[in-house]
Amino acid sequence: MYFLGRRILWALPLGLALFLVSASCSSSDPDDDASGGKVRAPGFIELTPVGEVPAPKVGRPAPDFTLPDVDGNPVSLHDYDGKYILVNFWGTWCPPCRAEMPDMQIVYEELKSQGLEIIGVDAPPDTEEDVRTFVTRGGFTWVFVMDKTWEVARTYRIGAFPSTFFLDKDHVVRQVRVGAMNEKELRVRLSKLME
């Protein structure tokens, strides 16, 4: 009885702390997006999956999509047939996303001539101007598209940013990485993809 009582007293502060953290990460109104995406904490989101589209998995073809780039031009996955593709879900509001991009640029510049392409799929609440400014300042040269309704993020079942899908030349998903990568990890993953 005494042991149980001490355990309960110890657990109460821990439970209260977890409740407060949970409540602060899930305060909804300012971050809710009318299209179904909710930013819960930097890098983490809550999305309603798209009904009939199967979730992309390693060994299966990646779902095709068409989204506008920052200038309004349509970009589709099938525009890059025969290329190795990284589909990178990110946002300017996501510190880990911003942190991995300089390393991605280094590797992209080196491997573009070998057939590597990157499609940066930006998430709300970013605007075209937010992305254009960030990309210009960072000197990032791959294509960036706007997923304003979270449709593609829902199709790909994104639950955290950044999330990156490594596609082979036939657009089959070969690897999925949730979280930021550094240059070394990118090189290892891409050497496996492109061997």
- Look up the CATH number of the domain holding residue 68: 3.40.30.10
Does a structural domain hold residue 2? no
Q: What is the three-class DSSP state of 19? A: helix
Total number of domains constituting the chain? 1
Range of the domain at 81: 33-193
Q: Which residues contact 162 (CB under 8 A, 6 or more apart)?
A: 43, 88, 89, 90, 94, 96, 97, 100, 178, 179, 180
Using pLDDT thresholds of 50, 70 and 90, give the confidence band for residue 53: low
Using pLDDT thresholds of 50, 70 and 90, give the confidence band for residue 51: low
- Mean pLDDT over each residue of the chain, to the nearest integer: 81
Does a structural domain hold residue 13? no
Cα–Cα distance, 21 to 16 (Å, whole number): 9
Helix H or strand E segment including 86: strand 84-90
Does a structural domain hold residue 10? no
pLDDT digits (tens, 9 = 90+) for 150-164: 999 999 999 999 999
CB atoms within 10 A of CB 20: 10
Q: Which of 70, 91, 88, 87 is nearest to 78 (CA)?
A: 87
